[in-house]
Structure 1
Amino acid sequence: MTTALDKPPAALAPERSDARALVDAVFRAREISIGGALVLLVFGTWIANPSFLDSQGTKDLLLNSSILVLLAVGQSVVVVTRHIDLSVGSVVGLTAFTLGDFVSGTDDGPLTVMLLGIGIGAVCGLVSGALVSLGKVPALVVTLGMLYVVQGVDYALAHGGQINAVHLPDSVLSLGSGSVLGIPYLPLISVTVLAATAYFLRTYRSGRELYAIGSSPEAARLAGIPIRRRVLAAYVFSGAVAGLAGALWLARFGTVVANAASGWELTVVSAVVVGGVAITGGTGSVSGAALGALLLTTISGALVVLKVDPFWEQAITGALLILAISADRIVQIRTTHALRKRSRR
């Protein structure tokens, strides 16, 4: 027997389609606004100091943003599942120092360095992911603990020393300074990882399931989604990307100390949230996170060019983080209200 509250499947399909279109439109607008702010920032800084966009300035901007973009891509995959990874900065430092110590005085090439970095980072991500997904320990507690554990291991390995560029293979250093058709290798690697991750999240069922987990873990469980396995995979991916970022850090800077990338955790989270990935999970895109990372890096570079006190970089980053979280909350409320109105119609 059909009641007045029942709806035929034909009526539900357009409703879900409308909801999806509305949410997609909201976050496309978010990415467009970030892109517009980035263009205005670059243009305004260039007017104040034309050297900001000369060949060397543009190259430095691309190189400096590459590692942060990579970390933002990995972090966004975790955040969409309604979790967080605060250990990425320390993983970068550990990987960079370990790889530097391993290849010093050898002829190992950049491919070996990158593969080893991915492996080290994946192991760190596996530990964090297992504790979060299988042990059901809060992600904030686990990854904050991992941050200090990894840092401690890094300091123990360093013994107060550092890796010097003169001891590294030339092929590894060329990865950080070389280019193809005038485009540095590092941004090309970052864009490749970004494009592959975006394609996976949009095209493959397991990628879309990450969003379902972040939107409603209980609904995802009832739908038969393997939540623990997906969350574990997200952390392994984030760790692997952080390990790759550590390898690129070594190639980019050559000289590495034990506290390399210290404090980058909150910068990465800020880039992700500013880029439109909701801290509560379920929404956002890796392309938006990459734009957020590029915006924060450009702000940092602009402040240096304009000779502004570096303190303002942290203040601006914090303000953007608060603004982004507030904007996400407002968008969430308005989207929910709009969907309810459409449902009543």
Structure 2
Amino acid sequence: MTTPTLTPEKVPNPAVRLARSFVRARETGILVAILVVIAVTTAINPSFLFSADGWRDLLLTPAILALVAIGQAIVIITRNVDLSVGSVVGLTAYLTGRLFADIPGIPIVAVFLIGALAGAVLGLVNGALVAFGKVPALVITLGTLYAYRGIDVLWAGSNRINAGDVPSDFLGLGTGSFLTIPYLTILAVIVMLIAGWYLRNRRGGRELYAIGSDPAAAELYGLKVTRRILAAFVLSGATAGLAGVLFVARYGTVSSQTGTGLELQAVGAAVIGGVAIFGGSGSVYGAVLGAVLLLTINRALPILGIQDFWQQAVVGVLIIGAIVLDRLLALRLSRRLVAEREVAA
């Protein structure tokens, strides 16, 4: 009796595996959608991309939202949400303007550090209330959204920060570029890469996914759930604080209403970018691409002659479609795991 010869399964080379992973990635679909929107709009109106400011605006406009979406994605991965980020942006933007107006000659680096630190402290308040108070993040951050906005309104009143109150060198960060790439975009990409590396390669980052997938199981397994949730909200606050500083550099004008509505855009960008609203999956790369897609569509639709109502409707459809797609993918994965267990049994 001859023994059958087992042929080892052929393993694709690293380049093939990388190509397959790229094609299957959720982020690839978002990137393709961005390219399609750009291509269609440019074909109808070439100035969208090829005008003097077209390329610059395409890269610069999403930078601030991308920063906020990075922090929002980290929080959503833990199965929470931070609705206060818009108010944090507004408060730190006004703080930035006041620092320049009240302390002439203050170093720009110090302003960046103070803005990010102020945002981190506001995020810590959110995280402490959620982690220690055991109150749903939706409720807590909805409350701090209004509380932080109230502090901003009380502080700023009817006053405004104008471009004349801010050093020209600082304003240059919001309009300048390196090799045609705006400085704000470069900074947003650097933050994205650091956050993406941390989530993928560090134990603390991987534990955020575990907590989002099943908080109770993570607690039983011995993960430091409270500490990780605190860290997620602190990071969200810090990125929103940094976005507030950059808002001043970009626009030069700040009022008590700065950042209003930005929290919903950030949630929408993260969800459209593939961050599961129920936690446990997604990436900051997808959140950034979601921010780019949202604002590219917002720029493209008026050029195409589409009314404001339909612009909002398109964004709503994108968000609903992303949530439905996430749910369908989760159900598909669940069925496949059940089938594999049955075969193994």
> Given the two structures, how large is their TM-score scaled by the length of structure 2?
0.91
Q: In structure 2, give the amino acid aligned to 1:52.
A: F
4+ residue runs over 4 A deviation? 24-28
**1:59-208 equivalence runs, <5 A:** 59-104=56-101, 106-208=104-206
- Would the aligned equivalents of 2:121 and 2:234 in 1 still touch at CA under 8 Å? yes
CA distance in 2, matches of 1:328, 1:27: 17
Q: In structure 2, give the amino acid aligned to 1:103.
A: F
What secondary structure, in the 3-state scheme, does the structure 1 residue paired with 2:258 have?
coil
Q: Specify the alignment match of 1:253 in structure 2.
A: 251
What secondary structure, in the 3-state scheme, does the structure 1 residue paired with 2:61 have?
helix
CA distance in 2, matches of 1:128, 1:114: 21
- Would the aligned equivalents of 1:109 and 1:169 in 2 still touch at CA under 8 Å? no
Q: Which moved more, 1:52-61 or 1:196-205?
A: 52-61
Q: Check 1:27–1:175 CA distance in 2 against 1; reply closer, same or farther (3 A cut).
A: same
**1:151-300 equivalence runs, <5 A:** 151-300=149-298
Q: Specify the alignment match of 1:38 in structure 2.
A: 34
- Would the aligned equivalents of 2:115 and 2:244 in 1 still touch at CA under 8 Å? yes
CA distance in 1, matches of 2:152, 2:216: 38
What secondary structure, in the 3-state scheme, does the structure 1 residue paired with 2:95 have?
helix
- Would the aligned equivalents of 2:218 and 2:225 in 1 still touch at CA under 8 Å? yes
CA distance in 1, matches of 2:179, 2:230: 38
- Would the aligned equivalents of 1:109 and 1:171 in 2 still touch at CA under 8 Å? no
Q: In structure 1, give the amino acid aligned to 2:60.
A: L
Q: Specify the alignment match of 2:13 in structure 1.
A: none
1:181-206 Cα shifts (integer Å, max 9, x gaps)? 22111000000000000000000011
- Would the aligned equivalents of 1:104 and 1:169 in 2 still touch at CA under 8 Å? no
- Would the aligned equivalents of 2:211 and 2:280 in 1 still touch at CA under 8 Å? yes
Superposed CA RMSD: 1.6
CA distance in 2, matches of 1:218, 1:302: 44
CA distance in 2, matches of 1:335, 1:80: 18
Q: In structure 2, give the amino acid aligned to 1:85.
A: D
- Would the aligned equivalents of 1:109 and 1:172 in 2 still touch at CA under 8 Å? no
CA distance in 2, matches of 1:218, 1:110: 44
**Alignment match of 1:313 (pick from 301, 311, 314):** 311
**Alignment match of 1:51 (pick from 47, 54, 65):** 47
Q: In structure 1, give the amino acid aligned to 2:242.
A: L
What secondary structure, in the 3-state scheme, does the structure 1 residue paired with 2:278 have?
coil
Q: In structure 1, give the amino acid aligned to 2:304.
A: L
Q: Which moved more, 1:295-304 or 1:99-108?
A: 99-108
The gaps in structure 1 that reach 5 residues or longer are 1-20
Q: Check 1:329–1:26 CA distance in 2 against 1; reply closer, same or farther (3 A cut).
A: farther
The gaps in structure 2 that reach 5 residues or longer are 1-16
1:195-220 Cα shifts (integer Å, max 9, x gaps)? 00000000001100000000011111
- Would the aligned equivalents of 2:44 and 2:304 in 1 still touch at CA under 8 Å? yes
Q: 1:180, CA displacement in angstroms?
A: 1.7
Q: 1:109, CA displacement in angstroms?
A: 3.6
CA distance in 2, matches of 1:313, 1:92: 24
Q: 1:110, CA displacement in angstroms?
A: 2.8
Q: 1:99, CA displacement in angstroms?
A: 1.1
CA distance in 2, matches of 1:175, 1:273: 29
Q: 1:265, CA displacement in angstroms?
A: 1.0
**1:315-330 equivalence runs, <5 A:** 315-330=313-328
- Would the aligned equivalents of 1:27 and 1:284 in 2 still touch at CA under 8 Å? no
Q: Check 1:114–1:307 CA distance in 2 against 1; reply closer, same or farther (3 A cut).
A: farther
What secondary structure, in the 3-state scheme, does the structure 1 residue paired with 2:281 have?
coil
Q: Check 1:249–1:209 CA distance in 2 against 1; reply closer, same or farther (3 A cut).
A: same
How many residues align? The count is: 323
